[in-house]
Structures are given as C-alpha cells and as structure tokens.
Amino acid sequence: MLKVPTYVSESPIGGLGVFAGRDIEEGELVWEFHPKTVWTLTEKEVQALPERLQSLIYTYSYLFEGQWYFCVDNSRFMNHSDQANTLEDKTGVQGESNPSGRDRAVRRILKDEELTCNYKQFDQNWKEKLPS
C-alpha cells in the first residue's frame, strides 16, 4: 500500500507511471505490504482466470517464490529503473526473503517526479518485463 500521495500519468519510461503527489524525503516509507491491498495468487489461480485478467496479472504483478503479487493501488504502475529512487526492503515486515516488505525513498523525491523501483530486486519475472 502506498504510504504517500500519488497519481498516475503517462510515463517517459513507458506506458503509465506513478508520480509523487508531494515531496518525499530520503528514507521516508513509500510503500508497505498490506494483505488487503495486494492480491496473492498461485500460477494455477492465474491460469483459471479469463485471458484478459491473466494478461493484467502478468503485466502488473510481481512474481516471488511461485506466487504472483498484484497491487490494487497505484503502486502497480511503478516502473523499473536500474537507478530507482525507492529501495525494496524485504526484511521490513516478516523477515528475510519475504515479499511482505516495504520500500523507502533512497533520496529526496520531488513532487511530480516518477516513483521507480528496481524489478531485479524482487520480481523473479523481471526478464520477461524488461527489454533486453
């Protein structure tokens, strides 16, 4: 669940992106796992969905240890950057190697700046999403 105000708009990275609704300070909590705002699905559950929903899940979810995590808030529009302005911390909630983490700003993020994360840190499907 996003912990800061955001909005969705066209992204210079590609498609849609999520943008800061106000300045965000370095170290500030930007996103935190909350079970009511993240759907957790097995591959079998995804495959049982209509094709259109499968496509949505594969596009806007991240894969971690055999589970697909689909965020229902604006965070699903967060784009990748190798120099992301947020950092995934999987130790934040329930210990290491757990997708139930949180993201913090690695530097000051200005209002209207796109929020980015590094898919390679948490999405085992990142190679399918990122161009070679």
Q: Which domains does the chain have, with CATH numbers?
A: 6-129 (2.170.270.10)
User: What is the DSSP code string of 30-57?
Assistant: EEE--TTTEEEEEHHHHHTS-HHHHHHH
Q: What per-residue confidence (pLDDT) applies to 131?
A: 79
CA-CA distance, 101 to 31, in Å (whole number)? 8
Report d(CA 94, CA 76) in Å as an integer: 22
pTM score, whole prediction:
0.88
Is residue 41 exposed (0-12), middle (13-18) or buried (19+ Cβ within 10 Å)?
A: middle
Q: Tens-digit pLDDT profile for the chain (132 aa)?
A: 999 999 999 999 999 999 999 999 999 999 998 989 999 999 999 999 999 999 999 999 999 989 999 999 999 999 999 999 999 876 544 444 445 688 999 999 999 999 999 999 889 999 998 876
Confidence at residue 90, expressed as pLDDT on a 0 to 100 scale:
61
Length reported for the chain: 132
